[in-house]
Amino acid sequence: NAGVTQTPKFRILKIGQSMTLQCTQDMNHNYMYWYRQDPGMGLKLIYYSVGAGITDKGEVPNGYNVSRSTTEDFPLRLELAAPSQTSVYFCASIHRGGQSPNTEAFFGQGTRLTVV
Amino acid sequence: AQKVTQAQTEISVVEKEDVTLDCVYETRDTTYYLFWYKQPPSGELVFLIRRNSFDEQNEISGRYSWNFQKSTSSFNFTITASQVVDSAVYFCALSGGGKLIFGQGTELSVKP
Protein backbone atom coordinates (compact mmCIF):
# COMPACT_ATOMS: atom_id res chain seq x y z
CA ASN A 1 0.00 0.00 0.00
CA ALA A 2 1.25 3.47 -0.87
CA GLY A 3 -0.89 5.17 1.81
CA VAL A 4 -1.60 8.84 1.09
CA THR A 5 0.20 10.24 -1.94
CA GLN A 6 0.45 13.94 -2.66
CA THR A 7 1.75 15.50 -5.84
CA PRO A 8 3.65 17.63 -6.54
CA LYS A 9 6.09 17.85 -3.63
CA PHE A 10 7.20 21.36 -4.55
CA ARG A 11 5.73 24.07 -6.75
CA ILE A 12 6.32 27.73 -7.47
CA LEU A 13 3.36 29.66 -8.81
CA LYS A 14 3.07 33.19 -10.05
CA ILE A 15 0.39 35.46 -8.65
CA GLY A 16 -2.90 34.86 -10.42
CA GLN A 17 -2.02 31.39 -11.71
CA SER A 18 -4.12 28.35 -10.85
CA MET A 19 -3.14 24.83 -9.96
CA THR A 20 -4.45 21.58 -8.53
CA LEU A 21 -2.80 19.72 -5.70
CA GLN A 22 -3.43 16.03 -6.04
CA CYS A 23 -4.14 13.65 -3.17
CA THR A 24 -4.77 9.94 -3.56
CA GLN A 25 -5.18 7.23 -0.95
CA ASP A 26 -5.34 3.50 -1.59
CA MET A 27 -6.71 2.44 1.81
CA ASN A 28 -10.41 2.85 0.96
CA HIS A 29 -10.77 5.52 3.63
CA ASN A 30 -14.03 7.43 3.72
CA TYR A 31 -12.80 10.65 5.37
CA MET A 32 -10.25 12.91 3.73
CA TYR A 33 -8.84 16.30 4.71
CA TRP A 34 -6.76 19.17 3.36
CA TYR A 35 -4.65 21.33 5.65
CA ARG A 36 -2.25 24.19 5.25
CA GLN A 37 0.65 24.81 7.59
CA ASP A 38 2.28 28.22 7.57
CA PRO A 39 5.84 28.53 8.94
CA GLY A 40 5.94 28.02 12.69
CA MET A 41 2.20 27.49 12.86
CA GLY A 42 -0.26 24.66 13.32
CA LEU A 43 -2.36 22.86 10.74
CA LYS A 44 -5.42 24.73 9.57
CA LEU A 45 -8.26 22.71 8.03
CA ILE A 46 -9.16 23.94 4.54
CA TYR A 47 -11.76 21.42 3.38
CA TYR A 48 -12.81 17.93 4.31
CA SER A 49 -14.89 15.11 2.87
CA VAL A 50 -16.76 12.31 4.64
CA GLY A 51 -17.27 10.31 1.48
CA ALA A 52 -17.42 10.42 -2.29
CA GLY A 53 -19.61 13.28 -3.46
CA ILE A 54 -19.61 15.04 -0.07
CA THR A 55 -17.36 17.97 0.81
CA ASP A 56 -17.50 20.69 3.42
CA LYS A 57 -15.59 23.79 4.43
CA GLY A 58 -13.06 23.80 7.21
CA GLU A 59 -11.47 26.72 9.04
CA VAL A 60 -9.81 28.50 6.09
CA PRO A 61 -11.61 27.61 2.82
CA ASN A 62 -11.38 30.96 1.01
CA GLY A 63 -9.39 30.80 -2.21
CA TYR A 64 -9.68 27.03 -2.51
CA ASN A 65 -12.03 24.46 -3.98
CA VAL A 66 -12.23 20.69 -3.70
CA SER A 67 -14.08 17.79 -5.24
CA ARG A 68 -14.48 14.15 -4.26
CA SER A 69 -15.72 12.19 -7.23
CA THR A 70 -14.11 8.94 -6.06
CA THR A 71 -13.20 7.46 -2.70
CA GLU A 72 -9.51 7.52 -3.60
CA ASP A 73 -9.01 11.07 -4.85
CA PHE A 74 -9.44 14.43 -3.15
CA PRO A 75 -7.85 17.20 -5.27
CA LEU A 76 -7.44 20.75 -3.96
CA ARG A 77 -7.80 23.55 -6.48
CA LEU A 78 -6.22 26.98 -6.07
CA GLU A 79 -7.73 29.66 -8.26
CA LEU A 80 -5.94 32.97 -8.72
CA ALA A 81 -3.00 32.18 -6.46
CA ALA A 82 -1.95 34.86 -3.97
CA PRO A 83 1.23 35.24 -1.86
CA SER A 84 -0.90 34.53 1.23
CA GLN A 85 -1.33 30.98 -0.06
CA THR A 86 2.36 30.27 0.27
CA SER A 87 2.38 27.35 2.67
CA VAL A 88 2.90 23.63 3.10
CA TYR A 89 -0.21 21.66 2.26
CA PHE A 90 -1.01 18.31 3.81
CA CYS A 91 -3.63 15.80 2.79
CA ALA A 92 -4.88 13.20 5.28
CA SER A 93 -7.30 10.31 5.37
CA ILE A 94 -8.93 8.09 7.98
CA HIS A 95 -11.59 5.43 8.00
CA ARG A 96 -14.42 6.17 10.37
CA GLY A 97 -17.30 3.92 11.36
CA GLY A 98 -17.97 0.40 10.24
CA GLN A 99 -16.24 -2.65 11.61
CA SER A 100 -12.65 -1.49 11.30
CA PRO A 101 -12.32 2.20 12.03
CA ASN A 102 -8.77 3.52 12.04
CA THR A 103 -6.88 4.53 15.12
CA GLU A 104 -4.94 7.25 13.34
CA ALA A 105 -5.25 9.70 10.47
CA PHE A 106 -2.70 9.00 7.75
CA PHE A 107 -0.90 11.97 6.24
CA GLY A 108 0.78 12.59 2.94
CA GLN A 109 4.32 13.97 2.82
CA GLY A 110 3.14 17.48 2.05
CA THR A 111 3.33 19.91 -0.87
CA ARG A 112 5.47 23.00 -0.43
CA LEU A 113 3.88 25.80 -2.43
CA THR A 114 5.40 29.23 -3.01
CA VAL A 115 3.45 32.01 -4.71
CA VAL A 116 5.59 34.84 -6.08
CA ALA B 1 -17.73 24.79 17.40
CA GLN B 2 -14.62 22.76 17.97
CA LYS B 3 -11.40 24.21 19.28
CA VAL B 4 -8.05 22.92 20.48
CA THR B 5 -5.76 25.12 22.55
CA GLN B 6 -2.12 24.41 23.24
CA ALA B 7 -1.14 27.35 25.39
CA GLN B 8 2.56 26.52 25.46
CA THR B 9 4.12 27.77 22.25
CA GLU B 10 7.68 26.73 23.10
CA ILE B 11 9.21 24.65 25.86
CA SER B 12 12.90 24.18 26.46
CA VAL B 13 14.25 21.52 28.83
CA VAL B 14 17.52 19.83 29.57
CA GLU B 15 17.88 16.17 28.73
CA LYS B 16 16.46 13.77 31.33
CA GLU B 17 13.97 16.32 32.62
CA ASP B 18 10.28 15.41 32.58
CA VAL B 19 8.04 17.67 30.52
CA THR B 20 4.27 17.99 30.18
CA LEU B 21 2.56 19.41 27.12
CA ASP B 22 -0.89 20.81 27.77
CA CYS B 23 -3.95 20.44 25.54
CA VAL B 24 -7.40 21.87 26.24
CA TYR B 25 -10.28 21.27 23.87
CA GLU B 26 -13.83 22.45 23.25
CA THR B 27 -16.57 20.47 21.56
CA ARG B 28 -20.32 19.97 21.73
CA ASP B 29 -20.07 16.42 20.45
CA THR B 30 -20.67 13.65 22.97
CA THR B 31 -18.54 11.24 20.97
CA TYR B 32 -15.17 12.48 19.84
CA TYR B 33 -11.54 11.46 19.53
CA LEU B 34 -8.37 13.14 20.71
CA PHE B 35 -4.97 12.67 19.12
CA TRP B 36 -1.37 13.61 19.62
CA TYR B 37 0.99 13.91 16.66
CA LYS B 38 4.70 14.67 16.52
CA GLN B 39 6.30 16.71 13.74
CA PRO B 40 10.10 16.37 13.73
CA PRO B 41 12.27 18.88 11.84
CA SER B 42 11.96 16.71 8.73
CA GLY B 43 8.32 17.80 8.52
CA GLU B 44 6.31 14.60 8.45
CA LEU B 45 3.51 13.96 10.92
CA VAL B 46 3.99 11.01 13.24
CA PHE B 47 0.99 9.55 15.05
CA LEU B 48 1.45 9.04 18.80
CA ILE B 49 -1.94 8.22 20.32
CA ARG B 50 -5.71 8.35 19.92
CA ARG B 51 -8.17 8.45 22.81
CA ASN B 52 -11.97 8.01 22.62
CA SER B 53 -14.19 10.39 24.56
CA PHE B 54 -15.71 7.53 26.54
CA ASP B 55 -12.36 6.09 27.63
CA GLU B 56 -10.74 8.18 30.34
CA GLN B 57 -8.07 5.68 31.23
CA ASN B 58 -4.62 7.15 31.27
CA GLU B 59 -2.10 5.50 29.03
CA ILE B 60 1.61 4.88 29.25
CA SER B 61 3.84 3.88 26.39
CA GLY B 62 7.48 3.73 27.33
CA ARG B 63 8.56 7.25 28.29
CA TYR B 64 5.29 8.73 27.04
CA SER B 65 2.11 9.04 29.08
CA TRP B 66 -1.21 10.73 28.51
CA ASN B 67 -3.72 12.10 31.01
CA PHE B 68 -7.28 12.53 29.72
CA GLN B 69 -9.74 14.40 31.96
CA LYS B 70 -13.19 15.10 30.54
CA SER B 71 -14.10 17.20 33.57
CA THR B 72 -11.49 19.78 32.59
CA SER B 73 -11.54 19.05 28.82
CA SER B 74 -7.85 18.34 28.88
CA PHE B 75 -5.62 15.74 27.25
CA ASN B 76 -2.10 16.34 28.48
CA PHE B 77 1.04 14.58 27.29
CA THR B 78 4.06 13.87 29.49
CA ILE B 79 7.50 12.80 28.37
CA THR B 80 9.55 11.26 31.15
CA ALA B 81 13.34 11.52 31.08
CA SER B 82 13.34 13.58 27.87
CA GLN B 83 15.93 12.95 25.19
CA VAL B 84 17.37 15.15 22.45
CA VAL B 85 15.49 13.05 19.87
CA ASP B 86 12.22 14.21 21.46
CA SER B 87 12.86 17.70 20.05
CA ALA B 88 9.96 18.39 17.70
CA VAL B 89 6.66 20.18 17.41
CA TYR B 90 3.81 18.32 19.09
CA PHE B 91 0.21 18.74 18.03
CA CYS B 92 -2.96 17.88 19.86
CA ALA B 93 -6.01 17.26 17.64
CA LEU B 94 -9.76 16.75 18.08
CA SER B 95 -12.09 14.81 15.82
CA GLY B 96 -15.85 15.11 16.20
CA GLY B 97 -18.46 14.91 13.50
CA GLY B 98 -16.52 15.07 10.25
CA LYS B 99 -13.77 17.52 11.14
CA LEU B 100 -10.28 16.90 12.47
CA ILE B 101 -9.00 20.08 14.11
CA PHE B 102 -5.44 20.70 15.31
CA GLY B 103 -4.05 22.92 18.00
CA GLN B 104 -1.33 25.41 17.17
CA GLY B 105 1.40 23.11 18.40
CA THR B 106 4.07 23.16 21.09
CA GLU B 107 7.69 23.28 20.02
CA LEU B 108 9.77 21.20 22.39
CA SER B 109 13.51 21.70 22.51
CA VAL B 110 15.52 19.20 24.52
CA LYS B 111 19.09 20.32 25.11
CA PRO B 112 21.92 17.93 25.97
**pLDDT, tens digit (0-9, with 9 covering 90-100), for B16-58:** 999 999 999 999 998 899 999 999 999 999 999 988 888 888 8
Q: Please report the pLDDT score of residue A45 as a whole number.
A: 96
CA distances from B2 to A31, A34, B79, B95 (A): 18, 17, 26, 9
CA distances from B66 to B49, B58, B104 (A): 9, 6, 19
Mutation target among A5, A43, A57 for the B interface, most CBs of B within 10 A: A43
User: Residues of chain B whose C-beta is under 8 A from some C-beta in A?
Assistant: 6, 35, 43-45, 47, 50, 91, 93, 95, 98-105
Give B-chain residues touching A41 at CB under 8 angstroms: 104-105
What does the pLDDT average to over A44-70? 96
Comparing C-alpha atoms, which of B2, B1, B6 is closest to residue B103? B6
- What does the pLDDT look like over B55-101, one tens digit per residue? 888 888 899 999 999 999 999 999 999 999 999 999 999 998 889 99
In this prediction, residue A98 has a pLDDT band, given cuts at 50, 70 and 90, of low
Question: Among A64-68, A99-103, B7-11, B59-63, where is mean pLDDT lowest?
Answer: A99-103
Q: Please report the pLDDT score of residue A99 as a whole number.
A: 57
In this prediction, residue A95 has a pLDDT band, given cuts at 50, 70 and 90, of confident
Residue A12 has pLDDT above 80, yes or no: yes
Bridge partner list, B100: B95
Give B-chain residues touching A110 at CB under 8 angstroms: 43-44
CB pair distance less than 8 Å for B100 and A42: no
Mutation target among B45, B95, B108 for the A interface, most CBs of A within 10 A: B45
In this prediction, residue A101 has a pLDDT band, given cuts at 50, 70 and 90, of low
Question: How many Å separate Cα A63 from the centre of its chain?
Answer: 13
Separation between Cα atoms, residue B62 and residue B80, nearest integer Å: 9
Mean pLDDT of chain A: 93
Beta-carbon pairs below 8 A across chains A and B: 47
